[in-house]
Amino acid sequence: MAIHGEWILFTLMTIWCVESKYMVYNTTSKIVPGKLNVHLVAHTHDDVGWLKTVDQYYVGSNNSIQGACVQNVLDSIVPALLADKNRKFIYVEQAFFQRWWRDQSETVQEIVKQLINSGQLELINGGMCMHDEAAPHYIDMIDQTTLGHRFIKQEFNITPRIGWQIDPFGHSAVQAYLLSAEVGFDSLFFARIDYQDRAKRKDEKSLEVVWRGSKSLGSSAQIFAGAFPENYEPPNNFYYEVNDDSPIVQDDMELFDYNVPERVNEFVAAALSQANITRTNHVMWTMGTDFKYQYAHTWFRQMDKFIHYVNQDGRVNALYSTPSIYTDAKYATNKAWPLKTDDYFPYADIINAYWTGYFTSRPALKGYVRTMSAYYLAARQLEFFKGKSKSGPNTDYLADALALAQHHDAVSGTSKQHVANDYAKRLSIGYEKAAKVVETSLASITRSSSKTDSGSPVTKFQQCLLLNISYCPASEVDLSNGKNLVVVVYNSLGWKREDIVRIPVIDENVIVKDHGGNEIKSQLLPLQKASLAIRNYYSMAYLGKSPSVTPKYWLAFSASAPPLGFNTYFISSRKRKETTIAAPSKNHVVYGSKGKQKDVIKVGPGNLKLVYSANQPKLIGYISSRNMIKESVRQSYSFYSGATDKQQASGAYIFRPNGTYSTKPDDQASFTVLRGPILDEVHQRINSWIYQVTRVYKDKEYAEFEFTVGPIPINDGIGKEVVTQISTPMKTNKTFYTDSSGRDFLERIRDYRKDWTLDVNQPVAGNYYPINLGMYMKDDNKELSVLVDRSVGGASIKDGQLELMLHRRLLQDDGRGVAEALNETVCVLNKCSGLTVVGKYYLKIDPLGEGAKWRRSFGQEIYSPFLLAFTEQEGNGWTNSHISSFSGMDPSYVLPDNVAMITLEELNDGKLLLRFAHLYEVEEDKDLSVMASVQLQKIFAHNKIIKVTEMSLSANQGRAEMEKKRLVWKVEGSSEEAPEVVRGGPVDPATLVVELAPMEIRTFVIDFE
Ligand SMILES: [Zn+2]
């Protein structure tokens, strides 16, 4: 070793002697007051899946698609930063960082920790991915951010300071106030805002604002937010990846092409031009873009030279910086900033290019993500009741898969098909593992220690993920041999709840009993041909086999379950009275028979009636005798044909309609009404590729629309974007309301933007907004709300009308990089056809001012449907040997109507992570927009709480600590204080009562005895 060392020393000395002109660049510059400071922020934007899968991007495989290897990026950053301690770098996507971290030796890990401690390497944003802001639900945004922040806290004891949403295609109010301010960020940066908005903001130097995203939380949850002048890349001619062709700084006088003065001039010119549209003497240059810094040295070598020569020149001051340093510099100027409210949707990058198609792109993936999101929430509750297993199975894999799925090319629907498949595969593996947690937890809870002798076998529960295609082997069983089908109905909400359970059965002679042994009302609905066709095709496609039996009926019954608990129901064989089978009503089975029928058909066994005209036949009216509402309502389907012209086609991102067409009934159209004591169903075959079931329940005040859309025909060579419209004569004055990431409702006005005078070039696409929870419109005396079961796009193109885009199939790429047409197919035995999507939306009309109750409480029920688990039992002994009713909470307690528990999760150290969300905004509901209180000790009836610590939203720091550090930004034009915002007070350790003000979400870590 010694000889080796001497040799290196000798060699180095030789180099120094011969190459005496070794150049030391002065990169020490800091902020210089009084000069224009150019903050060079070295960064890489690493999509957690897009053209390649997350793992392909990490290891650098599949390079024929895109030469990208994140492992190279992180590997090359370390020596580049070590080479000069003034150099800085930020890293964002934790899904990649964690993969890399696991691969490193302890030595490298130690070096990286030092780089992080010194501020040379800064982890910002810090979620597993850079989530999309249109398609994810706020609960998923919180979960994926928490996961990334937890890792950063554990490994580095760091809390990220900066929001960095540089690529998502428009920005949600929830991102600003919840996922930025409430996680303790000091600022939020992004690139994509509407081109018209950007132009005006450049003019007015208002790209940087104080963004107040929530009416309810106001200035208490505002954030400094900066939109970049163009995009998240360097200025033109300053790209320095190995094979980029921007001119390098050639400063060796002995070589040809010496160009230092030219390059310095160009640098200064670009800086001054940015300064012209920016307040204060600080501008940020985002030095990097997608998957750059695979050979970090090339970037840093050029930046070293620029900093050296530009500062020698002295007109401007260039420095290595980070968004944190930049933010602190902005803050130190003590300036007041323009106020921004609401959000940055929709986004158009150029004329006629509205990125509003992705609100709906890949609707099946969107539905899958939402289903898994709710399942993850419920599974973590059951995991806690049982006790989390570190070695598995546990919910960790599902957590990771869901986190990846929130990426801005995942649930957004803008990845290549093989990547979309990868997200779905991860969700599927995660589900399998979480399902085991659910099944073993239910087996352990139902197996009461007092009731069961220890020798009895553990119950094997089954679940039915494919109920949406009428496929449930667990319930499609023969009960004629005297067996009982045991159905455990678990409710993950904090309220007691009743809902209709529907499961496929093979025999009509079945009855349902509750756990008291009483037969309860049930109803059979014949399984329609349309459902069977989907069931058979998709079970072949997904499972590779045809179902062995064919169910004949849906069995529907009303189930109730206590909060965070379950009730058990028993299905057994017995001849039932025929009247409980919903039979097609004779009068209106067939479509098209003229003249003989009554003029109208009223549907609905309870207070709500839907009225259909018998001749057409179609929906014409909505009558609620309970609310005294009578409204003319029409519902229809139509499609936009996707533009295909070269200038701008409709595609995965962009919605560009080229004409609209109503769906014409063809010879397959049919109309059938099924009536029963629990619900009525209207089956409509709209045309050969749209089928709809409308359900009106006896005890529910809303109508449920289940649509089956697809395969969308393309044999005419035209891509189609399928929408449904709800039309009324309501005078809505161009105004409607859509939710922000499933939370606050924002007012939308057709052909209008609050922030600038809109030049309307796409009257349809430019009026579309992302819908996660729902949308509504109102007139002088009522409001009409539509709620959805997944994220979709929605609009109100005409007064009195709401429109949802349900599915899209397109034949052209829209030129934003994905380089594939959005043409989803499903294959059986190498024969492929267009994807069919089954989904639901819900409709209710309320007297003005009363709609929020339904949107909020029922919205939570849509998000968290009952979780069903099945097992079979010989004879009737279940209730003697098992616990058949359970609540995780004190049986006398329920959460207040305006509060949802959005997280209950056992952490690896045995502590509990708990989150409550107030569901109402200020002034949204006269009764429920008030302070709510939750009694913690009643929620944990079975555990003794010894400590409650309130945390930031992502639970990586104490709330109080976060508040202490918060930067208080000034808002332009408001000399007086902003109105006082009400928030819940501190939790008294004696009473353990948690207060929640409207729209407040509070996060706690709980220690149990
Ligand atoms: Zn991206």
For the stretch 436-452, pLDDT in tens is 999 999 999 998 765 55
**At a CB cut-off of 8 Å and minimum separation 6, what does 953 contact?**
142, 145, 146, 178, 179, 182, 183, 184, 1001, 1003
Q: Is the pLDDT of residue 586 over 50?
A: no
Using alpha carbons, select from 246, 275, 279, 276 the residue that is nearest to residue 263.
246
Q: Report yes or no: 848 and 783 within 8 Å, Cβ to Cβ.
A: yes
Using alpha carbons, select from 968, 900, 1007 the residue that is nearest to residue 377.
900
Q: Report yes or no: 887 and 487 within 8 Å, Cβ to Cβ.
A: no
pLDDT number for residue 590: 37
If one compares 659 and 840, the residue with the highest pLDDT of the two is 840
pLDDT digit string, tens, across residues 438-489: 999 999 999 876 555 555 678 999 999 999 999 999 999 999 888 999 999 9
User: How far, in Å, is the centroid of ligand 1 from the Cα of 655?
Assistant: 19
| Alpha-carbon span 1002 to 980, nearest angstrom | 19
Please state, in angstroms and as integers, the Cα–Cα distance from residue 645 to each residue in 630, 725, 813, 822, following that order: 45, 27, 10, 16
**At a CB cut-off of 8 Å and minimum separation 6, what does 294 contact?**
68, 69, 72, 73, 76, 241, 242
User: pLDDT band at 615, cuts 50/70/90?
Assistant: confident
Stated pTM of the model: 0.96
Using alpha carbons, select from 301, 285, 268, 319 the residue that is nearest to residue 29.
319
Using alpha carbons, select from 1007, 1001, 980 the residue that is nearest to residue 142.
1001
User: How far, in Å, is the centroid of ligand 1 from the Cα of 407?
Assistant: 8
pLDDT number for residue 587: 41
pLDDT number for residue 293: 98
Q: Environment class of residue 375 by beta-carbon count within 10 Å: exposed (0-12), middle (13-18) or buried (19+)?
A: buried
User: How far, in Å, is the centroid of ligand 1 from the Cα of 186?
Assistant: 22
User: How far, in Å, is the centroid of ligand 1 from the Cα of 630?
Assistant: 48
User: Span 290-298, mean pLDDT?
Assistant: 97
Torsion of CA 305, 308, 309, 314, to 10 degrees: 150
**What are the phi and psi torsion angles at 615 (to 5°)?**
-75, -40
| Alpha-carbon span 710 to 691, nearest angstrom | 9
User: How far, in Å, is the centroid of ligand 1 from the Cα of 165?
Assistant: 9
User: How far, in Å, is the centroid of ligand 1 from the Cα of 210?
Assistant: 25
Q: Report yes or no: 501 and 489 within 8 Å, Cβ to Cβ.
A: yes
What is the enclosing helix (H) or strand (E) of 90? strand 89-91
pLDDT number for residue 152: 98
pLDDT number for residue 598: 65
pLDDT digit string, tens, across residues 407-429: 999 999 999 999 999 999 999 99
User: How far, in Å, is the centroid of ligand 1 from the Cα of 51?
Assistant: 10
SS3 state of residue 35: coil
User: How far, in Å, is the centroid of ligand 1 from the Cα of 168?
Assistant: 7
pLDDT number for residue 877: 84
Three-state SS sequence of 787-803: EECCCEEEECCCCCEEE
User: How far, in Å, is the centroid of ligand 1 from the Cα of 682?
Assistant: 43
User: How far, in Å, is the centroid of ligand 1 from the Cα of 641?
Assistant: 28
User: How far, in Å, is the centroid of ligand 1 from the Cα of 414?
Assistant: 10
Residue entry with tokens 């903050």: 39
CA 970 from centroid of its chain's CA atoms = 31
pLDDT digit string, tens, across residues 518-565: 999 999 999 999 899 999 999 999 999 999 899 999 999 999 999 999
Concatenating the DSSP letter of every residue in 364-412 gives HHHHHHHHHHHHHHHHHHHHHHH---SSSS-SHHHHHHHHHHTBTTTTT
pLDDT number for residue 579: 55
Amino acid present at 366: K
User: How far, in Å, is the centroid of ligand 1 from the Cα of 274?
Assistant: 24
**At a CB cut-off of 8 Å and minimum separation 6, what does 498 contact?**
558, 559, 560, 699
**At a CB cut-off of 8 Å and minimum separation 6, what does 961 contact?**
none
User: How far, in Å, is the centroid of ligand 1 from the Cα of 77?
Assistant: 20
User: How far, in Å, is the centroid of ligand 1 from the Cα of 997?
Assistant: 35
| Alpha-carbon span 284 to 234, nearest angstrom | 10
pLDDT number for residue 575: 79
Least confident of 373-382, 567-576, 731-740, 812-821: 567-576
User: How far, in Å, is the centroid of ligand 1 from the Cα of 408?
Assistant: 6
User: How far, in Å, is the centroid of ligand 1 from the Cα of 15?
Assistant: 44
Q: Is the pLDDT of residue 1005 over 90?
A: yes
User: How far, in Å, is the centroid of ligand 1 from the Cα of 305?
Assistant: 29
pLDDT number for residue 588: 41
Least confident of 252-261, 333-342, 445-454: 445-454
User: How far, in Å, is the centroid of ligand 1 from the Cα of 714?
Assistant: 30
User: How far, in Å, is the centroid of ligand 1 from the Cα of 409?
Assistant: 7
Residue entry with tokens 């089908």: 485
pLDDT number for residue 523: 95
